[in-house]
Structure 1
Amino acid sequence: MRPGELNDTESQLWNSFATGAPVDARGGPPAARPAVRAEVVAALLLGAGDDVAPGGRPGLRLAGVRVTGRLDLRFAEVAVPVRLEECVFDDVPSLGGARCRELVLCGCVVPGLAAGTAQFDGRLVLSRCRLTGPLVLTGSQIHGDLDLRDTAIAAPGTEAVSAVRLVAGGDVLCGNLDVRGGFRLSGAAVAGEFDLAGASLRNPGGHALDAYHVQIDEDFTFHPGFSSEGRVILSGATVAAGIGFCGALLSNPGDVALEAVDVTVARNFDLGRGLTVDGGVKLDGSNVGTQLSFLDAVLSNPGGTALSLRLAQARETDLRTRRPADGTVDARNARLGTVHDTPACWPADLRLAEATYDALSSPLTAAERLDWLRRSSDGYLPQPYEQLAATYQRLGHDDEARTVLLAKQRERRGMLPPHTRLWAYVQDAAVGYGYRPLRAGLWLMALLACGSLFFGARPPVPVEPETAPRFQAVFYTLDLLVPVTAFGQETAFVARGTGQWLAYALTAAGWILATAVAAGVSRGISRQ
C-alpha cells in the first residue's frame, strides 16, 4: 500500500506506527468520525509500515475513528500491541488462529469478534465496549488477563460469548458485563480469579452461563450484584479457592436456576447473604472444603425442589435462610458436617434419608428436633432418627437420645399390620419400647397395690387349712404378678369369685409386663 493512497487519518496512523504514538481523532460529532480502512490497519500490523529504528517501540494506538471493511488477521503474527479506543467497526474483526502480542479495545462498538484458537501473549481487553454480535474465543489462549468489564454483548437466541476450552493465564474480569444470549466457557482453565460481580447474563429458557468442568485457580465470584435469567451451570467445576453468590439474583422459574453438580471447592461455597433464587438450586455430589452457606438466602421453587444437596459434602452447612425455602429441600445421602439452622427456617418438606452430620449448632430439645425429622414427604425412615439420636449421645444427652428412639418406634408403629401394632401399643404403654424402663416399675407397683388391697380385704381360702402358711396379701399378689417368684402363697391359697378373676388378670398382666420388659432390654442390647 502506497502512502499516496491514504487519507489524512490513515497517514497519521502510518507515520506514528513505528514509534507507537497515539492517533486521536476524537472531538468532533460521532457522525463525522474519520474513516480508517481495515486493510490499512491490517497492512501495518502485518509489517507494511516504515522500518522501525533501533530501540523503537512500534504499536498501533488509534481512537475515535470508524474502521471500514473487514479486519482480517486470521492466522497472522501480530508482534506489536494494539489499542483502539471509542472506535466503530463496520464488520466483525477476524483473528481466528492469530497470534497477537496484546489487544485492547476500550469503548468501541463492534458487530462481534471472531478470535477462536487465537493466542495473546499479553492481555485481551474489551472494556466498555458494545458488541452487537457474538464474541468467539473458543480454544483461545490468553497469557494475561481477559478483561470484559462494563461491556455489553447482544446476540439473543444464540451464544453471545463462546469461550469453550479457553485458557487464561491471568484473571477473567467480567464486572458489570451485560450479556444477552448464552455465555459458554465449558472446559475453560483460568489461572487467576473469575470475577462476575455486577454482571447481568440473560438467556431466558436457555443457559445464561455454561461453565461446565471449568478450572479456576483462585476465586469464582458472582457477588455483589450478579443477576441471571436462565440456567447457570457450574457442574464439574474445580475451584481452588471459593465460590460466592452473595447478593446475587438467579431466575429460571419452574426449572433449575443454579446447577452445580459434582463441583469441588477448596474453601467456602457461599450462597447466602442476600442471594435470591427463583428456581431450583442443585448441588448434588459437590464437595466443599469448608463451609456451604445459605445464610439469609431466599430460595423459591414452588411445587418443585428448591434445594438439592444429595450426596453433597461439607465441613459446615449453614441452612439459616431468610425464610423457609418455598419447595423441597433434599439432603438425602449428604454429609453436612456441622449444621447451623433454626426452626424458623425449616422448610415444609425436608428430606434427610441417609444424611449424616457431626453436630447441630442450635441447642434444641429432642421434642423440637422431632418436628424437623417429621417434615419429610418420604414418610417414616429409620436412619434420620438413628442419626439424630447418635448426635445427642455424642453430646452426652442420653435422655434426649432415648426420646428420639422412642419417637422412632412410634412412627414405625403406624406401618405395622394391625395384630403387630396392638403388641406395639402394649410395649409402648408398659415400658416405652424399653426407653422408659421406670414405667415398668410404676406398673408393677400399681398392680401390686391393687392386688394387695383387694386380697387383704377378701383373702383367698387355703388349699389345705391344716398346713397352709399364714396368708400375706402382698406376697400373694407378687406370686401372681412375677412369673419367677416362689413365695409359696399362690400354691397355698386359691381365690374365689371376683378374686379368682382378679388373680387371672394379675397373672396375665405380669406375663405381658415381663415380655415387654424383655423385648425392651433386647432392643437396648442390640442398639449398643
Structure 2
Amino acid sequence: MARNPSVQEFIEDNGPLLAAEERLLEACRVGGVCRLGTRPEVYRADREVRAEFLKVLILGGTKDCDLDPSRVWLEGAWISGQLNLSYRRAVGQIVLDNCRFVAEPRIEQARFDSLSLDGSHLPGLWAQGVQAKGDLFLRGITATGTVAVNGAQIGGQLDCTGATLDGAGGKALHAQGVTCGQDLFLSGITATGTVNVDGAQFGGQVDCTGATLNGAGGRALFAQALRAEQGLVWRDVTVTKGQVDLIAAHVSNLVDDLESWPVDRENRPDGGNLILDGFTYDRIVGPLGAAERIAWLRNGTKWDGEFYPQPYRQLARVLWNMGHDRAARQVRMALAEDMARHERFLDRHSRRVLAALRKFSARPGPRRRERVAKTVSELPGHRAEVATTTVDKLLALHGQVDPNHVPPGPGVQPISETTRRYAQRQFRSDLAWQELGLRARIARSWVIDHLSNWVIGYGFAPWRSIYWLVLLMSIGATMAALTWKEGSFAPNSAPILVSQGWHDALSADNPAQVWSDDEFGGKDWDSFSALAYGADVVIPIVPFGQTDAWAPSTRGPWGTGLWWGRWVLTALGWIVTALGAAAVTGLIQRDKD
C-alpha cells in the first residue's frame, strides 16, 4: 500500500505553495470551504492549484499535516497537471466544484465517501470501477471527452443533471455495468455521443427529463439490460440523431410522453431509431390511448428487416393489468395485423428476388446481376442466407463466380453444354413456380388477414361478427322483400306447385301473395316474412322455417338475383358464424395471455 505524502514533502519536492494552495490548506485544516470564485475560463495565477498538491490533501496527508479528515472542499480553481487517484482511498467528502481541469482526472478503482465535480470543466473523466459510499455528483459539468464511470459502485446517486458531455462521436457517458443504490439523473443533459448504461443497475429511477441526445453516428442511448427499480422518466427528451436501444431493459414504471421518443418518419422497413425488443415495465405513467401507443410500438419493433412482436405483448399485458381491457385488445389486434403485414412484405421482397434471378438466368448481364445483388442485400438476415445459396447455384449453372460468396466446393464434375442449358431451363421453371407460389401465398394471406380483422378483430373483437350477421341479414331481407313484391316467390312444395289453387293464382302479378289469400287455399301455409327469410338464409344453424316454406323463382330479375345470391349469403353466414364462435371460445384464454 502506497504511503500518503505529507505537505512538507510536497513543498520540498515542488517548491513553495501557491496563493490558492495556501488558502486551500488553511480550509482543510479547519474542515472549511475554499471558495476562490466562479469557474475560471482562462488561466489565472491566483486560482492555480497543482493536481499533485490536491492529491496530498484528498488522500489525507500524514498526521503532522494536521488536516481535518471530514472533507476537502474547493471551488473555482484552475487545476494544473493530472489528478491521479487511481486505486487510492480518499479521506472524507471531496468537493471540487466549478473547477477547470487542464488534464483528464484519473480516478479508476478509487474509493470515496462521496465525490462532487459540479459545474467543473474537464477534458474527460476516467473513473472506471470507482467506488463511492455516497453520491457521485457531476451536475452541470462540461466534458470535452468521455466521462467513463463504467463498472462503478455507487451507494447513493449518480447525478449528471444539466451536464454537457461531448464524446467526440464516441461515448459521451460510459456507465456500462454501473451499480447504483439510488437514482441516475440525466435531466437536462446535452450529450454528443452515446450515453451508455448497458447492463447498469439502479435502485431508484433513471430520469432523462429534458435531455438532448445526439448519437453522432452511433446510438444516442444504449440501455440494453438496464435495470431501474423505480422506473424510467422519459419526458421532454430530444433525440436529434441516433438510436434509443432498450433491448432487454426493465424498469418498474415507464413515465413518458410520446413526443420524446424518436420517430421513424420514413417508415423504413428495416426499422428506425427506436429498439424496444425485450423492454419490460410494470406500469405506465403517461398516455394510455391505444392508437398513440400502437404508433409508438410500430416505431420500435422493426430492426434490420426483422419484426419483433414482444413489445406488443408487453404493452397489452401491462394495459390489461392496469384495467384498460379494450386498449389491451386493440394492441393485440395491431400485433396480428402487423405480423401478417410484415410476412407479406417479406414474401413480396422474396418474390422480387426470384423474379430478378429468373430474368438474369434468361439473359445474363452485368446490370441484371447488379439487380440480383441489390434485391438480395435488402432481404433480412435469414432470408438473405437462403437467397445467397440460390444465387450461388445460379451462378454455377451459368459458369460465373460471385466474388462476394464462396463458390461451390471441390468435387463438382464439369457438365456438358447441353446438360447445362437443360439445367438452366429447369432452374428458371423452378423459380417461376416458386414465384407463383409466393404470389398465391401473398393473396391468401391478404384475404385471411383482412377477413379475420374485419369480422372478429383477429379474435379480440368477436362482437364484430354480430354486426356482419346483421348486415348480411339486412341484405337478405331487402332482397327477399323486393323479390316478394316482384312476385318471384313460390311455395317450396312440389304438391302445392301442381295444385289447382296455385295454377289459378299464376295469372296474377304476385302469385304467392294472391295464393296466400283465403280464396286460393294458401292461408294456412307458413306466412312469408322478409326479415325471417333473410335470417334463415344467413344463419343456417338456426331454422326459421322460411326457406323450407318459400323459394325464389327466376321469373323476374330480383328473383334471379335472390336465387343465386342466397348461396352467397349462406356461405358468408357460415364463415362469419364460424369465425365468431371461434373468437368467443378463445377470447378468455387470449385475455389471460
Correspondence for 1:176: 188
* Cα 1:455/1:50, change in 2 over 3 Å: farther
What is the alpha-carbon distance in structure 2 between the residues aligned to residue 181 and residue 442 of structure 1?
Answer: 73
- Given the alignment, which residue of 241, 261, 269 partners 2:277? 261
Q: Distance in 2 between matches of 1:174 and 1:196?
A: 5
Aligned to 2:489: 448
1:37 aligns to 2:50 (yes or no): yes
Cα displacement (A) at 1:8: 2.7
Query: What is the deviation of 1:46?
Result: 2.2
Structure with bigger strand share is 1
118, 124, 131: which one aligns with 2:136: 124
Q: Distance in 1 between matches of 2:507 and 2:41?
A: 120
2:37 paired with 1:26: yes
How far has the Cα of 1:176 moved from its partner?
Answer: 1.0
Q: How far 1:7 moved relative to its partner?
A: 2.1
Aligned mates of 1:78, 1:46 — CA distance in 2: 5
The 8 Å contact of residues 18 and 50 in structure 1, kept in 2 or not, is answered as no
Structure 2 residue corresponding to 1:196, chosen from 201, 208, 216: 208
Amino acid at match of 2:327: V
Q: 1:271 to 1:210 in 2, by over 3 A?
A: farther
The 1:118–1:281 alpha-carbon spacing in structure 2 relative to 1, beyond 3 Å, is: farther
**Equivalent position of 2:453 in the other structure:** 384
What residue in structure 2 maps to residue 47 of structure 1?
60
SS at match of 1:313: helix
1:170 CA displacement = 1.0
Q: Which of 149, 154, 166 is the aligned partner of 1:154?
A: 166
Counterpart selection for 2:219 from 204, 207, 210: 207
1:400 matched to 2:467: yes
Using the TM superposition, give the Cα deviation of residue 146 of structure 1 relative to its aligned residue in structure 2, in angstroms. 0.8
The correspondence of residues 45-124 of structure 1 with structure 2, limited to 5 A, is 45-50=58-63, 57-124=69-136
Q: Spell out the pairing of 1:504-523 with structure 2 (5 A cutoff).
A: none
Equivalent residue number for residue 338 of structure 1: 326
| Secondary structure, counterpart of 2:105 in structure 1 | coil
Deviation at 1:197, TM superposition (A): 0.9
Structure 1 alignment gaps of length 5 or more: 286-303, 319-335, 356-376, 407-430, 460-470, 487-499
| One-letter identity of the residue aligned with 2:61 | A
Deviation at 1:62, TM superposition (A): 0.9
Distance in 2 separating the partners of 1:524 and 1:250: 41
Instruction: State the one-letter code of the partner of 1:313.
Output: L
Q: Which residue of 2 aligns with 1:220?
A: 232
Question: Structure 1 51/253 Cα, relative in aligned 2: closer, same or farther at 3 Å?
Answer: farther
Q: Distance in 1 between matches of 2:41 and 2:318?
A: 59
After superposition, residues 238-253 of structure 1 pair within 5 angstroms as 238-248=250-260, 250=262
Residue aligning to 1:314:
316
Q: Is the 8 A contact 2:215 2:241 kept in 1?
A: yes
| TM-superposed deviation, 1:388 | 3.4
2:439 aligned residue: none
Task: Determine whether 1:144 maps to 2:156.
Answer: yes
Partners of 1:222 and 1:514 lie apart in 2 by 57
Structure 1 residue 16 corresponds to structure 2 residue 4: no
TM-score, normalised with respect to structure 1: 0.63
Q: Are the structure 2 counterparts of residues 172 and 511 from structure 1 closer, same or farther at C-alpha, using a change threshold of 3 Å?
A: closer
Q: Give the 3 Å change call, closer, same or farther, for CA 92–308 of structure 1 in structure 2.
A: same
SS in 1 for 2:221: strand
Q: Is the 8 A contact 2:104 2:125 kept in 1?
A: yes
Match of 2:145 in 1: 133
Going from structure 1 to structure 2, the CA distance change for 1:472 and 1:283 (only over 3 Å counts) comes to same
- Given that 1:92 and 1:114 are in contact with CA atoms closer than 8 Å, whether structure 2 keeps it comes out as yes
Return the alpha-carbon distance in structure 2 between the equivalents of residues 212 and 501 of structure 1: 70
CA distance in 1, matches of 2:21, 2:132: 26
Aligned residues: 409
Gaps in structure 2 of 5+ consecutive residues: 1-8, 342-444, 492-496, 509-518, 527-545, 582-593
Give the structure 2 partner of residue 409 of structure 1: none
Which residue of 1 is the match for residue 421 of structure 2? none
Looking at structure 1, the residues matched to 460 and 60 of structure 2 have their Cα atoms a distance apart, in angstroms, of 74
Partner of 1:494: none
Residue type of the partner of 1:42? Answer: K
Aligned-pair CA distance for 1:22 = 1.4
C-alpha contact (below 8 Å) 1:230/1:251 kept by paired residues: no
Q: Distance in 1 between matches of 2:569 and 2:76?
A: 93
Q: State the AA in 2 paired with 1:402.
A: L
Match of 1:372 in 2: none
Task: Write the distance in 1 (CA, Å) between the matches of 2:162 and 2:300.
Answer: 30
Rounded Cα–Cα distance in structure 2 between residues aligned with 1:339 and 1:263: 19
Greater relative contact order, per chain length (Cα 8 Å cut-off, separation 6+): 2
Whole-Å separation in 1 of the counterparts to 2:37 and 2:87: 31
Q: Is the 8 A contact 2:166 2:191 kept in 1?
A: yes
Q: CA deviation at 1:48?
A: 1.8
Tell whether the 8 Å contact from 1:261 to 1:282 is kept in structure 2 after alignment.
no
AA paired with 2:316?
A
Aligned residues of 2:263 and 2:299 also touching (Cα < 8 A)? no
| C-alpha distance 102-519 of structure 1, shift in aligned 2 (>3 A) | closer
CA apart distance, 1:121: 0.7
Q: Are residues 282 and 2 of structure 1, via their aligned partners in 2, closer, same or farther at CA, if it must alter by over 3 Å? A: same
Report the more deviating stretch, 70-79 or 109-118. 70-79
CA 1:230–1:279: 2 relative to 1, 3 Å: farther
Q: CA RMSD in A?
A: 5.0
Q: Secondary structure at the match of 1:156?
A: strand
Distance 1:444 1:312, change over 3 A: farther
The one-letter amino acid paired with 1:75 is Y
Paired with 2:180 and 2:210, the residues of 1 have a C-alpha distance of 21
Distance in 2 (CA, whole Å) between partners of 1:267 and 1:279 is: 16
Q: Normalized against structure 2, the TM-score is what?
A: 0.57
Separation in structure 2 between the aligned mates of residue 155 and residue 187 of structure 1, nearest angstrom: 20
Amino-acid identity (%):
19
Give the partner amino acid of 2:284.
Answer: N
